[in-house]
Amino acid sequence: MILDAGIPDDLWEEIKSAYDTLCDQYGHEVDVAVRSSATAEDLPTASFAGQQESYLNIKGYHSLKEACSKCFASLFTDRAISYRVNKGFDHFDVALSIGVMKMVRSDLASSGVIFTLDTESGFKDVVFITGAYGLGENVVQGQVDPDEFYVYKSTFRDGFKPIIKKNIGKKSIKMVYGKGESKMVTRNVEVPESDRNVFCINEKEILKLSEYAITIEDYYSKKLGKSQPMDIEWAKDGTTGELFIVQARPETVQSQKDTNVIETYILEEESEILASGKSIGDKIAAGKAHIIKDISKIASFKKGEILLADTTTPDWEPIMKNASAIVTNKGGRTSHAAIVSREHGIPAIVGTGDVTENLENGQEITVSCAQGETGYVYDGKLPYKVQKQNIQTFKKPKTKIMMNIGNPGTVFNNSRIPNDGVGLVRLEFIISSMIQIHPMALIHPEKVRDKDTLAKIKKLTYGYADYEDYFIEKLAEGIGTIAASFYPKDVIVRFSDFKSNEYGSLIAGEYFEDLDENNPMLGFRGASRYYSENYKEGFGLECKAMKKVRDLMGLRNIVPMIPFCRKPEEGKKVLDIMERYGLRRGLNGLNVYVMCEVPSNVLLIDKFSSYFDGFSIGSNDLAQLTLGVDRDSSYLSTNFDERDEAVMKMVSMAIKGAKRNKKYIGLCGEAPSNFPEFAEFLVKEGIDSISLNPDSVLKILLELSSDGGDEYPKKR
């Protein structure tokens, strides 16, 4: 009816006149975007994402008039009516206007979406940018797996360049202008393989977009008198190279959540992984898979089923809210499927590649988004549990409660748990999962003789300045993400503590490791590696990554720590090498700690104190070496116990020795996570901090909170 009514002549004359003005400015039959803007859109509690239509690359009077009519009529499509009913809006209280805007030639460059918080955890101290080649419609609709970038706000404001994370997307297609006289105003084309494997914008552009986003957020926050995270669209003009902001609206999901309640989903069993992709949210759901390849089939979908689709558009919305989970082949964290699933509190996995081809209708599956950035589809209905905890009930103990962290993908959520920082960052996880290649192979690729192994290395490092730069950037991003999540609290980062066999399992590791070492646990590990000719250059890469995090990103809350340092003289040698790479103890407030896990660390703690600013007790290794027990031996498992009298005495001696020398001392082993009585013992001994696995923090806090009374400061 609205399309048939057409546009009144007087209004059309005004539109024509304004279009003529644009043509005078930009040239004959200028290309424009005809964009809808309804009064009910972009509200704090309802995004109305994609409910009304927009049209791109519109040229000439006829096409402009037709696009405007369609834009007005889109207020009354089935999907728009359904959405308003679901959200409780009166259909005739909603008005719609149209913005006619000169097209940014991002078809010749790139475009995407920015959020001024992390869309999965609600962590507010980052700018999250997604981008892909071509017009932005593919990113918004989830047709493409985009690049992702995270910039840390606090140190960015101080003048640093804290790009803490970069993930490369597949970017397999891009939307460009249609050809010649064709009625097809836009079309999708394939992106060459060489372009897919490089980021769609450079670091300078990432930082410029972050500056724009922070400025926009600050403006609206000041206007509203409260923090207002924003959802922003951007585009780069391929002709001029300019960056444009084309839309800004309030973020409507994470900013509305109750941040005082922590809800934790825990998968109790695992099975065969059927698919994986980017996790949206942190929940788990189990049920029957329902594959829909054509929108005409959505009426067959039943409430509680798990929706599997190539991608989703606003037309799918009537059934999406009834799904227990959503899994798509395509899309990124800012796609339509991701936005809607967050709004409805439904777990989703996007960008799986081929989930609709590999599963069957009615197949029972479990969708888990509770294991970090990667979401998994498991075979069968698996048991899981949900824990809820109001963090306002916790008091701050006198002893600092810190966390042990390995996976940077979970830290934004973990930072919400009441804490005093990170007592142990394990670089081993970052190296094995994010880097995968032995560091010495990146320095000396000429020693790698297998062609297939060299091909793997080239593929993983594609797009980086050189092999070494790949290692430094990836490691710095992992450390930087963790440091930013807990800033300005201390984040103690242990240099890599792989054993020879573990280093050997990295790509090309067999060329640089003695895989026949008789006892790797007591062998070539820790400090002895760092000054050895066999690994000294590899340690240099770790030092360069640490320096980048501190000096380029501005995250000077990281505290480097040296593991398995057998003698004070070893510590001195390692400190000398660190200084050569710009990590001089005392420079810009740099403290350096050492692990206290070898009995010699305890017995000679006065000598070690002259070289280091603090100690962290590794209860696992200290117990093993005190008792002479291989903790991994099934024959001796009953003899390995950190609560053994001899071990407790060693721990007590270490604490007293550190206090005597006025040095910091904490404990980062498994014992207090497993045994609350061990945590109580540490508190009585006067230890400065206890570092726990994240899933143990709340339990131990409840045990210890009676000895304190202060409330934890609320998260920024």
CB 598 within 8 A of CB 565: yes
- CA distance from start to end of the chain: 51
Q: What own/partner pairs with CB < 8 Å and gap ≥ 24 does 175-182 have?
A: 175/56, 175/107, 175/134, 175/135, 175/137, 175/138, 176/107, 176/108, 176/134, 176/135, 177/31, 177/57, 177/107, 178/57
* 288 neighbors 305 (Cβ within 8 angstroms): yes
Locate tokens 């497993």: which residue?
674
Cis omega (within 30 of 0) for bond into 146: no
Whether the CB-CB separation of 283 and 306 falls below 8 Å is answered with no
Tokens of 117: 């918080």
Bridge partners, residue 328, by sequence = 309
Q: Is 91 a catalytic residue?
A: no
Counting beta carbons within 10 angstroms of the beta carbon of residue 226, is it exposed (0 to 12), middle (13 to 18) or buried (19 or more)?
exposed
- What is the tally of helices (H) and strands (E) in the chain? 27, 30
| Strands annotated E in 51-93 | 54-58
- Cα distance between residue 259 and residue 276, in whole Å: 28
Whether 369 is catalytic is no
Catalytic residue (choose from 200, 369, 543, 668): 668
Catalytic residue among 200, 336, 369, 565: 336
Whole-angstrom Cα distance, residue 129 to residue 151?
A: 8
SS3 content of the chain, % helix, strand, coil (to 5): 40, 25, 35
| CA 24 distance to own-chain centroid | 46
CA distances to 438, 494, 524, 526, 540 from 513, in Å: 10, 21, 10, 14, 18
Q: Which residues are catalytic?
A: 336, 668
